[in-house]
Chain A
Amino acid sequence: MEEEIIISGRMNYKVDPGLHIWGWEIAFYLFVGGLAAGLLFFASYYYLQGKEKEFPAAIKWAPMLAPVMLALGLGALFLDLHHKLYFWRLYTNIRLTSPMSWGAWTLMVVTPLSILWSASWVREVFPNWDWKFKFLYDLEAFFIKYRKVMAWIMVFYSVILGIYTGILLSAFNARPLWNTSILGPLFLASGLSAGAAVIISFTKNELERKLFSKIDLVIIGIELFLVIHLFMGLMASTAVQIEAAELFLGGKYTLPFWIFVVFLGMIVPAILEFLELRGQKIPVIIPVALILMGNIMLRFIIVYAGQASRYLY
């Protein structure tokens, strides 16, 4: 049998024998980024549709989580940096070819926006809230007046943020598993489904819950389609891509991926939501928790498995 044995004298920390330069920090960052994108997208989209009364959870309550999520995400990203004191360099450069740079700048727009959005609703959500100073009331009035403008910017940037969480990885042609343009839409869809799930858990209103359950069902359908597409694409590609796909089709990541991400994270919650819509009594927290779990697992598995996929010598 034709064989090749490769012996390398290199043993660099975090690079050999297998790359593991990115750990939980990046996976977590991608998860919260996607979730925040989902929350902000629904908030601004339905606000622009004029559904403020019908969907209070989506427009007013749930987006209050977004600034928290984004802050946690930025914190995780910061932890991941090895040269932390130079963090500010991200913001003295705009590099169009670098997804990392795009992401840093997108967050720079989205994070303050999400804070202002939440602040503009805070007195409606917490009626006892007191801004203490008059100028804060003036500011609030100003942002309430310009909510529509904020919503337009947010609708646009939340989609960029959601897609970016996937593009960050797919831009690396060195890692065949990541190097597929499906990852952007897949992560966007999964972030939207997480956002919808959180809204479902917040709402007390039947109409809103039903709508977001339906939205979730559609998005999960899209996600399943993208997952199948991902593997079809990889399997129909070159040797390195086929090898990357095999990590999930018999390889080390097979069970975690198909059980936790696809079965428990997509199929089971979809069935539960479907039954719930048909009138069965199912506590919403179960599908919501499963969707969020599947979301986290998807990020972790793709971040880790991608680093295990490589070009052969």
Chain B
Amino acid sequence: MRYAMAIDTKKCVGCSDCVVACQLENNVPIGYCRDWIVETTSGTYPNLELENRSERCHHCANAPCVRCCPTGASHIAEGGVVLVTPDECIGCGACIASCPYDARYPHPDGYVDKCTFCIHKVRKGEDPACVQVCPTNCLYFGDLDDPNSEVSRKIKERKYKRLKTEAGTDPQLYFLI
């Protein structure tokens, strides 16, 4: 099993509904976020291209945050999902420094927090909160080992890119372009 997410940058309008849904679902403290919107404008004026991306932890297959954790609080759970166990985390910050995507943050309660792919919902057979709520339906979550899952089909049908693969993390967010 290999959980992954595909994000359709052509459909995303940058409304931030996924951000709010996550904050509500996961009790993210005010002022913090586990997922966020990035908007890039690139090109040479007047030929500009706009891209919206809903970003979060990439649940890297080669996760530096798990490697550098001195206590094992950061670990890899089923389907390759990268999780933090709050009661094992000492808050040393090593994993925050090790993440090329800056996807983690220090929770005000002391431990380190980040996107879990809503594993508590996935275990019940539901989709992550962000995927459920997206009004343009541009987020796809599922198992890459299953060739018929929606996410597998999307990345087969469409062109995609992954971010900062040069950091060697083997990220599992696929941005459809």
| Whole-angstrom CA separation of A8 from B70 in the bound complex | 30
- 0/1 interface trace, chain A 1-43, chain B, CB 8 Å (1 if under): 1111111111111111001011000000000000000000000
Of the candidate stretches B41-49, B119-127, B132-140, B150-158, the one touching chain A is: B41-49
Contact B96 A15 (CB under 8 A): yes
Contact A174 B100 (CB under 8 A): yes
Chain A residue, CB-CB nearest to B37: A9
Contact B92 A80 (CB under 8 A): yes
| Whole-angstrom CA separation of A291 from B64 in the bound complex | 35
Expressed in whole angstroms, the minimum distance between the Cβ of A16 and any Cβ of chain B is 7
Expressed in whole angstroms, the minimum distance between the Cβ of B102 and any Cβ of chain A is 5
B98 at the interface (CB under 8 A from A): yes
Contacts of A233 in B (CB 8 A): none
A307 at the interface (CB under 8 A from B): yes
- Can you list 21 A-B pairs, Cβ within 8 angstroms, ordered by A? A3-B44, A4-B40, A9-B16, A12-B102, A13-B106, A14-B105, A81-B90, A82-B110, A83-B90, A85-B110, A86-B88, A86-B91, A89-B88, A90-B90, A93-B70, A95-B71, A171-B98, A172-B68, A172-B97, A173-B167, A311-B167
Contacts of B100 in A (CB 8 A): 173-174, 310-311
- 0/1 interface trace, chain B 40-72, chain A, CB 8 Å (1 if under): 111110000000000100000000100111111
Contacts of B67 in A (CB 8 A): 97-98
Contacts of B37 in A (CB 8 A): 8-9
Contact A83 B91 (CB under 8 A): yes
Contacts of A13 in B (CB 8 A): 31-32, 105-106
A227 at the interface (CB under 8 A from B): no
Cβ contact of A19, chosen from B64, B72, B96, B163, cutoff 8 A:
B96
| Whole-angstrom CA separation of A313 from B162 in the bound complex | 10
| Whole-angstrom CA separation of A86 from B90 in the bound complex | 5
A313-B33 contact in complex given A2-B44, A14-B106, A100-B70, C-beta closer than 8 Å: no
Contacts of B106 in A (CB 8 A): 13-14, 21, 82
B39 at the interface (CB under 8 A from A): yes
